Structure 1
Amino acid sequence: MGKYLMAIDAGTGSIRAVIFDLDGNQISCCQHEWDHIEDPKYPGSMNFDWVNGWVLAKQCIEGATKDAGIDSSEIAAISTTCMREGIVLYDASGQEIWACANVDARSTDEVVELIRSYPGLEKELYLESGQSFALDALPRLLWVKNKLPDIYEKVAKIGMFNDWLIYKLTGSMIVEPSNGSTSGLMDLRTRNWDPSILERCGLKTDIFPEVRESGTIAGEVSENAASETGLTAGTKVVVGGGDAQLGCIGVGVVDPNEAAIFGGSFWQYEYNTGEAKTDPQCRVRVNCHAVPNVWQYEALAFKPGLVMRWFRDGFCQLEKKLSEETGRDPYDIMNEEAAKIPAGCYGMMCTFSDVMNFISWKHAAPTFTNFELDPERFSRYTFYRAILENTALVTRGHMDLVRESTGNMPSEVLFASGASKSPLWSQILADVLGIPVKVPSVKEATALGAAIIAGYGVGLYSDISETSKRLVHIAATYEPNMENHKVYNEMYESWRKVYATQLDLANSGLTRHMWAAPGV
């Protein structure tokens, strides 16, 4: 059997193929950016171009194999992962006929009509599926039915993006629960499709492919796919999973009562549980994990990474210039100065993302408040640190939500993705949460999770949890400063009240929401 594993990751902003050896060491990575273009006829749309997407995927597969300096026959198995929520619709011949990316928001009319016509339906479906109308497939299918009836009549199957990649490689159309559950069309408890969800809304109920758990064999690389990608025909392709779920496997968060935070453009708090239960108040999302009989409570903070980029580009030209002159990351320069600001930023705080409320998901207008006209204390570094603290406070709120639903809090948390590269942000997170924050050394956690799943599927690894914990190495552990923790505990209560007031202003129309779910 081969000595390498390949992961193909279809993310929101790019697609990549990554090759690992059997010890979890990254050997190569080939990545191409892609865009999901808005159709000007349909505001909020994010069309997925499956033709160009497959071209880029093929280039990544060929590039990663070439860069690794190996023959494709040395690849023991392949698995796939992707952004969640994006869907692909197929006709009876298996041809793609419509697709949208993850945060496509064109279906506002359909959400409004669902809420008007079926009061209480969203909560009813949430308690069964763990999803709301904010991101699931139901309003999008209704949109296709209402706006593109000719396309809707041809719909024979629905799938997710990671499953689309497997279909292109093998010809097998299969959906797995970790990503499939984010469609809102599955029963959390059975980890399988629930046709009654579509039936209740007057939609087709016979469009569901077979469901297989992550880590099972989907098929083999076909002769056609081999000729297109340079892969070896017959290579085993293993059912993968959603990006957050495989990211958890890639950082060792596999078993119940373990937790991870992924800090990127959006921040995700993932808490594993052995029970398929939802929040009675519908505030937090619940998905299937990519491990059988494990589920995940998930809470999302909107746009922390994008807020950081905005602040850097809008206010830190000096640091960017120093970066060009010295080769240092501008964020490192900003962190060095922000570390000199005391915890709590002299009482200043900001509002960007709110604590998640899945059933009525919206965020206040961005605001900085409670600062003084004192340039010594309230410099751009104070404002910068306030952004770091704000995101950590949102995460504290997310942990509280999950604790209220499950009765459990993690004793420590894994922190991964781009934000974890900041020692200051990692320390602030530990101080706010009051628990140790561990940062793994892996750079491509989601791809490593997919590689582990691939190896498990072909018998190279006997146990997902054991393998994950063996291959993951901790680069740093941040212990909480309990004096700072006291400061943040007091600050958190004030921040929640300030945020509620700012949200009222946006709800009244005096300010603009930073983001609001369709129809909310």
Structure 2
Amino acid sequence: MLMVDDEGLCPLVLALDGGTGSCRAILFDLSGREVAVGQREWHHRQTPDAPGGMDFDTDANGLLFDEVCREVVADIGGAAGRIKAVSTTSMREGMVLYDAAGKVLWACPNIDGRAQAQAESLAASGLAETIFETGGDWVSITAPSRFLWIRQNTPEILEATRTFGMLSDWIATRLTGEFCTEPSAGSSSALFDLSRRSWSDEVLRALDLDPALCPRVVESGEVCGAVTGEAAARTGLIEGTPVHAGGGDTQLALAGLARKPGDATLVAGSFWQLTAITDTPVIDPQRRLRTLCHAHPGQWMIEGIGFLTGFSLRWFRDAFCELETREAAEQGRAVFELIEEKAAAVPPGTNGLQAVFATVMQSDSWINAPASFIGFDVGDAQRTGRMACARALMEAGAFVSQAHRAIVAECTGQHYARITMTGGSAQGRLWPQIIADTFGLPVDITTVKETTALGAAILAARGAGLIDDATQMASGIERTHEPDPAIHALMAEKAAKWAELDTEMIPFALRNLAPSMWQAAGARATIQ
């Protein structure tokens, strides 16, 4: 039975989620049911004077967070007093620097790649290997190379910096004025000692970074502050509402599912992560995958990342699906639902059409091939038309994830007999079925798709003493997709060809004949 407040209304918890492609505010009740949702898409601007650079606009994006907060408060009739706790989550790796007054000096999202030369120098010196062995991640898009870039290119910013935090920390800081981090997002800085679940003195010394720059570390779910009067005026929240430390998006998705060591999960948002929880920090000796702290004490997580796998379908929608966008609006349907319906009419294997987008992760030399479709039948437009491209994108996402599943199994020594899939890409029926047919395994689809936000809500609810057991709010399983053995054989053959194509196309990017969809800073030097 759910508790109620003095007015007979169920308490609510608020999750604020800063993803790669959008920000969201989602209210949950104590059964884990979504009560209200506000969302705004955003884009990250390229930095003209820093090749590969992406800035995170804390002013504009902060206003978007204020908007979605006010929206969900309005959706519950303005009864902000029902919101008993708040927690935050975001993409990992992105970081924010502050001056002594708490003003933002510099911020970047996860995909910022401006620190190319600095990552190369860390690799050449051998320090990158030390960082990987200690912190579980390479220096491509993490804080070590970024701090070096700032020191060498804008030293006045580093001189003025008094503390920094990750993006999920920034969301909380805007509400509380307090500075802290927690292990799941904090470890994505690559400045952590995974075994200690805190900042690495060794790495900080090697980078000549003052430990005083590092915020205090609390565990996910602990109170990190309360909503200030100024924040309450911006967001519609009640002053004094407790804000609990949240964490990195993938780890909180696992928390929202109550996953445990031995489980394998595909978190399919803008990026796709094939991940498993471990009870010790497992470091990939071949430096393919990365390891971070989980959101629960005494647990860690190893993952393989499909770069912008889910986002690629949003790009395809915007670039080629004007017709479906118009039809969906006329029919009152979601455009992705219509795209999937049409793509489902294309046979498995897409008549040989291949999509090469995300590349299997190799942390220390990660270059994605130029984004491409290959294998058009110019004699028959119906066989390899737009919807064949959409399905080929989905198949490519499955191929990358299947490769990551195999590497995770190799590193952990675990056999994963089934996969749980969650996130925006799990909302339809076609993509999960393609995953099942490619993996040759049952794929369970979660009831709640926004499990990252749900994980944040669970941490807030437990931290506030509103629930005793996380499973009270955790998402269940909505349905299971069983693999078709005949299609699995077809997809295995196509996946092998896709892997060869992907490998053969990376040199086009290395020779500057076509732009890589994305490449990690320092990757070229490692390969060459």
Question: TM-score if structure 2 supplies the norm length?
Answer: 0.90
Greater Cα shift, 33-42 or 143-152: 33-42
Q: 1:416, CA displacement in angstroms?
A: 2.0
Asked if residue 473 in structure 1 is aligned to residue 476 in structure 2, the reply is yes
Provide the C-alpha distance between the structure 1 equivalents of 2:134 and 2:117, rounded to a whole number of angstroms: 24
Q: Deviations over 1:436-474 (max 9, x none)?
A: 11222324322211111100001122233x335xx4132
Question: Could you tell me how far 1:196 is from its partner in structure 2?
Answer: 1.8
- Is 2:83 the counterpart of 1:75? yes
1:401 matched to 2:407: yes
Question: Equivalents in 2 of 1:174, 1:330: separation in Å?
Answer: 40
Aligned partner (choices 482, 485, 494) of residue 482 of structure 1 = 485
Does residue 49 of structure 1 match 2:57?
yes
Aligned residue for 1:362, secondary structure, equals coil
| Distance across 2 between alignment mates of 1:371 and 1:39 | 35
Show CA shifts across 1:98-146 (max 9, x none).
2222212222232233334x0x322221121111112211111111111
How does 1:481-520 map onto structure 2 within 5 Å?
481-520=484-523
1:214 corresponds to: 220
Task: Summarize the Cα distance change of 1:115–1:16 in structure 2 as closer, same or farther, 3 Å threshold.
Answer: same
Using the TM superposition, name which of 370-379 and 99-108 deviates more. 370-379
Identity %: 38
**TM-score, normalized by length of structure 1?**
0.91
Partner of 1:162: 168
Q: Secondary structure at the match of 1:128?
A: helix
In the other structure, the counterpart of 2:459 is 453
Aligned to 1:58: 66
Distance 2:238 2:318 in 1: 45
Unaligned runs of 5+ in 2: 6-10, 524-528
SS of residue in 2 equivalent to 1:198: helix
Q: Compare 103-112 and 237-246 and name the one that shifted more.
A: 103-112
Amino acid in structure 2 at the alignment position of 1:394: V
Amino acid at match of 1:166: A
Tell me, yes or no, if structure 1 residue 187 matches structure 2 residue 190: no
Tell whether 2:362 aligns with 1:357.
yes
| Separation in structure 2 between the aligned mates of residue 428 and residue 122 of structure 1, nearest angstrom | 37
CA distance in 1, matches of 2:350, 2:69: 47
Q: Quick check: 69-78 or 234-243, which moved more? A: 69-78
2:30 and 2:467 in contact (8 A); partners too: no
User: Contact (CA 8 Å) 2:282, 2:302: kept in 1 or not?
Assistant: no
Aligned to 2:8: none
Tell me, yes or no, if the aligned pair for 2:97 and 2:107 is still in contact at 8 Å.
yes
* Distance in 2 between residues matched to 1:50 and 1:410, nearest whole Å: 40
Which residue, 59, 82, 95 being the options, matches 1:87?
A: 95
Q: What's the secondary structure of 1:363's corresponding residue?
A: coil
- The 3 A distance-change label for structure 1 pair 93 and 318 is closer
Assess if the C-alpha contact under 8 Å between 2:133 and 2:283 holds in 1. yes
Instruction: After superposition, give the CA deviation of every residue in 1:385-422 in whole Å (9 maximum; x if it has no partner).
Output: 22221111111001011111111132222222222122
Structure 1 residue 372, shift from structure 2 partner: 4.5
Partner residue of 1:8? 16
CA distance in 1, matches of 2:152, 2:294: 33
Match for residue 255 of structure 2 among 228, 249, 257:
249
Match in the other structure for 1:106:
114
Q: Aligned with 2:211: secondary structure?
A: coil
Q: Deviations over 1:236-267 (max 9, x none)?
A: 221111112112222x1431122222323322
Q: What SS does the aligned partner of 2:114 have?
A: coil
Q: 1:125 to 1:263 in 2, by over 3 A?
A: same
Tell me, yes or no, if the aligned pair for 2:368 and 2:519 is still in contact at 8 Å. Answer: yes
**Match runs of 1:251-270 below 5 Å:** 252-270=257-275
Tell me the distance in 2 between the aligned counterparts of 1:51 and 1:344. Answer: 45
How far apart in 1 are the matches of 2:185 and 2:319?
36
**Matched AA of 2:96:** V
**Paired residues of 1:195 and 1:206 also in contact (CA < 8 A):** no
CA separation of 1:461 and 1:518: change in aligned 2, threshold 3 A? same
Greater Cα offset, 33-42 or 157-166: 33-42
Q: Does the residue aligned with 1:516 lie in a helix, a strand or coil?
A: coil
The one-character-per-residue Cα deviations of 1:309-346 (angstroms, maximum 9, x if unpaired) are: 44445555554454354444454444344434433334
Summarize the Cα distance change of 1:383–1:45 in structure 2 as closer, same or farther, 3 Å threshold: closer
| C-alpha displacement of 1:481 | 0.9
Task: For 1:241-320, list aligned pairs within 5 A.
Answer: 241-250=247-256, 252-320=257-325
- Structure 2 counterpart of 1:30: 38
Matching residue's letter, 2:456? A
With over 3 angstroms needed to count, the CA separation of the structure-2 counterparts of 1:325 and 1:142, relative to structure 1, is same
Out of 420-429 and 94-103, give the one that drifted further.
Answer: 94-103
Moved more, 225-234 or 283-292: 225-234
More moved, 332-341 vs 381-390:
332-341
Equivalent position amino acid for 2:395 in 1 = E
Report the Cα distance in structure 2 between the residues aligned to 1:447 and 1:382, rounded to whole angstroms: 33
Q: CA deviation at 1:503?
A: 2.1
Q: Specify the code of the residue in structure 2 equivalent to 1:173.
A: F
2:148 corresponds, among 118, 130, 142, to 142
Q: Equivalents in 2 of 1:253, 1:485: separation in Å? A: 29
Aligned twin of 1:178: 184
Deviation at 1:184, TM superposition (A): 0.5
Structure 1 319/54 Cα, relative in aligned 2: closer, same or farther at 3 Å? Answer: closer
Equivalent runs, 1:411-430 vs 2, <5 Å: 411-430=417-436
Query: Secondary structure of 1:135's match?
Result: coil
Specify the code of the residue in structure 1 equivalent to 2:472.
T
Q: Give the Cα–Cα distance (whole angstroms) in 1 for the partners of residues 329 and 79 of structure 2.
A: 39
2-structure distance, mates of 1:341, 1:53: 39
For residues 94 and 310 of structure 1, the distance between their equivalents in structure 2, rounded to whole angstroms, comes to 36
Is the 2:424–2:450 Cα contact (8 Å) retained in structure 1?
no
Separation of aligned partners in 2, 1:9 and 1:481: 36
Among 462, 468, 483, the alignment partner of 1:462 is 468
2:445 paired with 1:439: yes
* Aligned mates of 1:39, 1:370 — CA distance in 2: 35
Q: Is the 8 A contact 1:273 1:296 kept in 2?
A: yes
Distance 1:333 1:211 in 2: 45
Question: What are the within-5 Å matches in structure 2 for residues 191-210 of structure 1?
Answer: 191-210=197-216
Of the structure 1 ranges 277-286 and 485-494, higher mean CA displacement relative to structure 2 is found in 485-494
Maintained 8 Å contact 1:5/1:75:
yes
Superposition CA RMSD, Å: 2.4
